[in-house]
Amino acid sequence: MRRPQGRGLELARKHIASYLSELDCIRRSSDFLRSSARNTSEHGVDDRTTASGCQPIGFNATLNSRLSAPTPPHAIRTLSWEKAVEYFEKLLDDLDIICSYSLDPLFERVSRFVVQFQKSQPNLVARAHLQVLLVQDGKLYGRDPIFSVISRAAALPKVTKNHDIQKNEYVL
């Protein structure tokens, strides 16, 4: 998905489909996996927090300790097994929607796709991948400058397309 100008989206869709099938297998065998894991048979179904002093799996509390201001310790909510699988399924579905989008250079269609995509309330990772796909080096899909795409959509005269404002164009 990170290849420039939208290349690699078909390969990403194939990977996403295989990951979704793996998650389905994990979901079907969740009872077995939960019973064979240590200390999760009685706590694996509900959400938990770290208020009990348990360290969450995959989280290092000292990671940003030097970068952030001192704060009192607070509980971190860890997802249950089922909610974690649902979260990853939704993430993969959102990424599949992004990969299935045809790279249409018309501003109206791009904005319509973004609005429709936002209605599904995607998470931060999917939104970030959409932003990286849409805007690369100040250009739509890494091909057309954003200024020219917007000026085409606004039906600006040809004179404004060669204006000096393009030299100062920045997309953050």
pLDDT of residue 137: 80
104 is written with which tokens? 């249409």
DSSP state of 67: T
Per-residue model confidence (pLDDT) at position 151 = 78
pLDDT of residue 133: 87
pLDDT of residue 88: 93
Phi-psi region of 71 (alpha: psi -120 to 50; beta: other; left: phi over 0): beta
Instruction: State the pLDDT at residue 28.
Output: 87
Those residues of the chain that have pLDDT short of 50 are: 40-43, 172
Look at residue 31 and give its three-state secondary structure.
helix
pTM of this structure: 0.67
Q: How far is CA 83 from CA 27, 77, 110, 164, in A?
A: 11, 12, 32, 52
The pLDDT value given to residue 167? 59
Buried-exposed string 9-42: b where 16+ CB fall within 10 A, e elsewhere:
beebbeebeebeeeeeeeeeeeeeebeeeeebee
| Residue 165, SS3 per DSSP | helix
Rounded Cα–Cα distance for residues 61 and 76 (Å): 10
